[in-house]
């Protein structure tokens, strides 16, 4: 779907904007809706440098309070395409460097955009930085207000540590 014709490009910088649906890239949950990709391509005699930034709307569940929320997840990558007439496929597997024949007509970006979008999903998904989460006793969402749980009594042997903790606040 996202292909850039490079065979007739002269040396210089070119900017491209692409839009589409997330499932056009064959990525699904948590991604929903549309994506936008901006590509800056710089062509030289012996190489093409491609910088891409993609934003895709995602439906996530907060790891602290379990509420669903929408967020745009951004991913970006840079790939260098080196022109080479003879190359071994194993050479083309190096990070961020791809060997292509000088007569290559188009560069397909779908796989790279999909892979980097999947890697961009955050490990810890939070609805907001200030999310207070759920009460460990009653399960109430502390973002909606305090709960009525009483603080349990602490073993008196832990009292000196509690004092140190409250001093550092």
pLDDT digits (tens, 9 = 90+) for 71-84: 999 999 999 999 88
Domain that holds residue 68: 3-131
Under-50 pLDDT residues of the chain: none
Q: Same structural domain for residues 85 and 51?
A: yes
Predicted confidence at residue 90, as pLDDT, reads 60
* Shared-domain flag, residues 32 and 114: yes
Q: What is the C-alpha separation between 121 and 103, in angstroms, rounded?
A: 36
Same domain, 86 and 147: no
Taking the C-alpha atoms of residue 80 and residue 42, their distance in angstroms, rounded to an integer, is: 10
Q: Report how many domains make up the chain.
A: 2
pLDDT at res. 56: 93
Do 59 and 21 belong together in one domain? yes
What CA–CA distance (Å, rounded) separates 138 from 75? 38
- pTM, full prediction: 0.74
Report the C-alpha gap between 1 and 54 in whole angstroms.
15
What CA–CA distance (Å, rounded) separates 24 from 34? 9
């Amino acid at each position: 779907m996202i292909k850039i014709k490079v065979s007739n490009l002269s040396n210089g910088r070119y900017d491209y904007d692409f839009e589409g649906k997330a499932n056009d890239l064959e990525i699904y949950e948590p991604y929903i809706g549309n994506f936008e990709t901006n590509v800056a391509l710089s062509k030289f005699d012996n190489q093409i440098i491609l910088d891409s930034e993609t934003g895709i709307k995602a439906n996530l569940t907060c790891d602290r309070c379990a509420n669903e929320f929408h967020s745009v997840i951004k991913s970006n990558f840079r790939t260098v395409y080196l022109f080479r007439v003879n190359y071994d496929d194993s050479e083309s597997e190096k990070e961020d460097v791809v060997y292509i024949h000088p007569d290559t007509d188009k560069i397909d970006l779908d796989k790279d955009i999909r892979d980097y979008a999947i890697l961009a999903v955050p490990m810890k998904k939070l609805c907001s930085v200030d999310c207070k989460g759920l009460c460990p006793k009653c399960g109430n969402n502390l973002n909606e207000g305090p709960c009525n749980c009483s603080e349990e009594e602490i073993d008196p042997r832990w009292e000196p540590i509690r004092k140190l903790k409250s001093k550092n606040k």
